[in-house]
Amino acid sequence: MKPVAAFVLVGAALAVAPFLGLPAFYESFLYLVFSWVVLATSWNLLSGYAGYFSFGHAAFFGAGVYATAVLGGKLGWSLLATLPLAAGVPALLGVTLGAVIFRVRALRGELFAVLTLAVTFVVSTIVLNTPIDGGPGVMLSAVSIPKLAPSPSGTFYLMALILALISVYISYRVYHSRFGTGLFAIHDDEEVAEVMGVPTYRFKLGAFALSCALAGLAGGIHGVFVSYVTVAETFGHWLALYVILMAAIGGTRHWLGPALGAALVTTLLYAFTASEHALGGRAVVGLVLILVILFLPQGLLGRFSRRAAFPRKELIPPDASIAVANKERLLVIRGASKAFKGVQALAGVDLEVRRGEILGLVGPNGSGKSTLINVVSGHYPLDGGSIVFEGREIAGEAPHRIASGGIARTYQIPRPFAHLSVLENVALPPMFGRVAMDRGRAESEAWRWLEFTNLSGKAGRLPAELNLHERKFLELARALASRPKLLFLDEVLSGMTPSEMDEAIRLVRAIREQGATIVFVEHVMRAVMELTDRVVVLTNGRTIAEGVPREVMRNPQVIDAYLGAAHA
């Protein structure tokens, strides 16, 4: 059954309740459950999926409450008329904040949490002290609501139900989409996601805007439900923390997790309140939060949060349009220099890569090889010099643009996305690379590269379950999946047994036959000798020799750099 149909069915089943003479108390209780479902699910879009834990959800809920309060309570609009602004104002607030905050690399993790907490206090103070509220609160009992059900409480039930269904559906769709994959990648390793082509800034802003809009809608409706809003009640600290609790219990990596958590926690709280043990109830909620974080950090649905792979479709034949070796200059680096805290990692490197060749990049430890790769792929900005790729200057470009231009790299110490399966890891670059594909096509593409690297048997596993050699091949498959024109392999062979190495060498040759140009950074000399057409030697951040492998490695300067004068 198609997902939309399932949601509509569930919705229809639940929507019948108000017409069956359900007591108002239950309608109100279920309204609250649905409202918390919206809040927890909307929070999870940014904070659960992308890992940016916000402690300020109350700010956006409150912005929605007060948008409706001002328009409805003070200016007489009907509830439905206020809803677009109840969504729009918080979204605008969120986007404005995000535009500034997400630019600053250091403001992640706990700092983002504290910052969003501060935002709530600021917003609430402003609302309290300006004519928006001013102090006495706002009466909303006169705001007209649509007549969807026999009673007002029934109407609120239905409105909250519809909003909850929409929120959970959005959560579901994002979860299965390219957008969602990008968000999960950001969660696991934002830098690598950026280098693989995910437009991290835009995606974070998008998730944030969506999250704030939904929270605002819940707020607008809630304001009229309680019919009298005050700053203290609206921006209370507990809202921010309850949504975290709900999402954590249900599972932040699953689309239904927050909804499940919301239902459980709301029921638990009200069971206690009803039995006059409200205090005890709150203490139990605190205890549950602690137990969940310590023992069940993935939440109840955590185990089920692996997205089912799309069925295997027809494999896409190799792209014949990638040109074969023609000696044209693909990448030209001139005078590249880069320093870190006083250490000059690159001191004016000159290097050329010709289309279709396998270029070996060698040099003693600390000579600058990894830094060079990092600089070309956009991890670090260049201090000086230029990098021209296919005639275009790329020094200073955003990493994800460089990636979509056709440059890919592997990491010396593999950095797979820990919570994405092997298949999803490899499917990510095709989704965001040069030829941006949707999830289905990207996964087919991924299968191809998994077969190429002999990993198809482990497609559904998590990277942690692979051994080192398999993880290196995963790095390789992931880099290849974006069909790069230029591929940087950073010490792919280190740590491998001789037979694993033979397999890897075979693979690298096959990659070149597919039309990619390869820069091969290695310490294992026999592989360098076997594979490379040309070799460039780096020492102390400079190029000291270049040419055919056999000649270069007999060059006295090179021998000196590696072994010292004793062996020359």
Partner 1 sequence: MLEARGLRAGYGAAPAIRDVSLDVGQGDLVVVVGPNGAGKTTLINAIAGLHRIESGRLVFSGTNISDLPPHRFCDQGIALVPEGRRLFTGMSVRENLELGAYGSAAKPHRAQAMQRVLALFPMLGAKLRALAGTLSGGQQQMLAIGRALMARPRLLLLDEPSLGLAPTIVIEMFRIIREVNQDGVAVLLVEQNVAMALQLARRAYVLEEGRIVAQGSPQELASQPDIQRAYLGH
Partner 2 sequence: MPSAALLGQSLLAGIFAGALYGLLGLGLTLSWGMLRQINLAHFALVFLGGYLTYQLAAAGFDPLATLALIAPAFFILGVALHALLARFKVGILNTLLVTYGFTVMLESLLQWIWSADYRRMDSHYGAVKWKVGELFVSLPELITLAIACATALAMWAVLRYTDLGKALRAIAEDAPMAAAFGVNHKLLSLLLSGLCAALAAVAGTCLALTYTLAPSQMYAWIGVVFAVVMIGGLGNPLGPLVAGLAIGVSEALTMAITAPAWAPLVSFSLLIGALLVRPQRF
Chain positions contacting partner 1, by CB under 8 A:
342-343, 364-366, 467-469, 491, 494-495, 497, 523-529, 553, 559, 562-567
Rounded to an integer, what distance in angstroms lies between the CA atom of residue 504 and that of residue 507?
5
**Which SS3 state, helix, strand or coil, does residue 564 take?**
coil
Binding partner selected for residue 565 from partner 1, partner 2, none, CB under the kind-specific 5 to 8 Å limit: partner 1
**Which SS3 state, helix, strand or coil, does residue 565 take?**
helix
Binding partner selected for residue 303 from partner 2, partner 1, none, CB under the kind-specific 5 to 8 Å limit: none
Residue 400 or 471: the one with the smaller Cβ distance to partner 1 is: 471
Residue 440 or 495: the one with the smaller Cβ distance to partner 1 is: 495
Rounded to an integer, what distance in angstroms lies between the CA atom of residue 53 and that of residue 407?
32
The span of 183-191, 216-224, 279-287, 542-550 binding partner 2 (CB under 8 A) equals 279-287
Q: Is position 283 an interface residue for partner 2 (rule: CB under 8 A)?
A: yes
The span of 65-73, 261-269, 277-285, 409-417 binding partner 2 (CB under 8 A) equals 277-285
H-run or E-run covering 539: strand 534-539
8 Å CB contact between 63 and 93: yes
Q: Is position 111 an interface residue for partner 2 (rule: CB under 8 A)?
A: yes
Binding partner selected for residue 497 from partner 1, partner 2, none, CB under the kind-specific 5 to 8 Å limit: partner 1
Q: Is position 106 an interface residue for partner 2 (rule: CB under 8 A)?
A: yes
In the chain the first and final C-alpha atoms are separated, in Å, by 73
Q: How far is the CB of 250 from partner 2 (least distance, A)?
A: 15
DSSP for 391-411 reads TEE-TT--HHHHHHTTEEE--
Q: How far is the CB of 122 from partner 2 (least distance, A)?
A: 5
Q: Is position 332 an interface residue for partner 2 (rule: CB under 8 A)?
A: no
8 Å CB contact between 412 and 370: yes
Q: Is position 314 an interface residue for partner 2 (rule: CB under 8 A)?
A: no
Q: Is position 118 an interface residue for partner 2 (rule: CB under 8 A)?
A: yes
Q: Dump strand ranges (E) for 390-490.
A: 392-393, 407-409, 486-490
Q: Is position 53 an interface residue for partner 2 (rule: CB under 8 A)?
A: yes
Phi-psi region of 446 (alpha: psi -120 to 50; beta: other; left: phi over 0): alpha
Q: How far is the CB of 184 from partner 2 (least distance, A)?
A: 17
Q: How far is the CB of 561 from partner 1 (least distance, A)?
A: 10
The span of 111-119, 208-216, 340-348, 506-514 binding partner 2 (CB under 8 A) equals 111-119
Rounded to an integer, what distance in angstroms lies between the CA atom of residue 62 and that of residue 46?
18
Q: Is position 296 an interface residue for partner 2 (rule: CB under 8 A)?
A: no
Rounded to an integer, what distance in angstroms lies between the CA atom of residue 98 and that of residue 523?
43
Tell me phi and psi for residue 392, to 5 degrees.
Answer: -115, 135
Q: Is position 126 an interface residue for partner 2 (rule: CB under 8 A)?
A: yes
Taking Cα atoms as reference points, which of 355, 277, 333 lies closest to residue 543? Answer: 333
Q: Is position 287 an interface residue for partner 2 (rule: CB under 8 A)?
A: yes
| CA dihedral sign, ordered 69, 71, 75, 78 | negative
**Which SS3 state, helix, strand or coil, does residue 309 take?**
coil
Residue 213 or 359: the one with the smaller Cβ distance to partner 1 is: 359
| Rg, the chain, Cα only | 28
Q: How far is the CB of 451 from partner 1 (least distance, A)?
A: 23
- Residue reference for tokens 């470009």: 397
Q: Is position 294 an interface residue for partner 2 (rule: CB under 8 A)?
A: yes
Q: How far is the CB of 125 from partner 2 (least distance, A)?
A: 5
The size of the chain, in residues, is 568
Q: Is position 95 an interface residue for partner 2 (rule: CB under 8 A)?
A: no
Hey, which residues between 225 and 264 contact partner 2 (CB under 8 A)?
237, 241, 244, 248
Q: Which ranges of 53-177 does DSSP label H, i.e. alpha helix?
A: 57-68, 79-101, 109-129, 152-176
497 class by beta-carbon count within 10 Å (0-12 exposed, 13-18 middle, 19+ buried): exposed
Among 109, 146, 547, 556, binds partner 2 (CB under 8 A): 109
Q: Which residues bind partner 2 (CB under 8 A)?
A: 53, 100-101, 104, 106-107, 109-111, 113-115, 117-119, 121-122, 125-126, 128-129, 135, 237, 241, 244, 248, 279-280, 282-283, 285-290, 293-294, 297
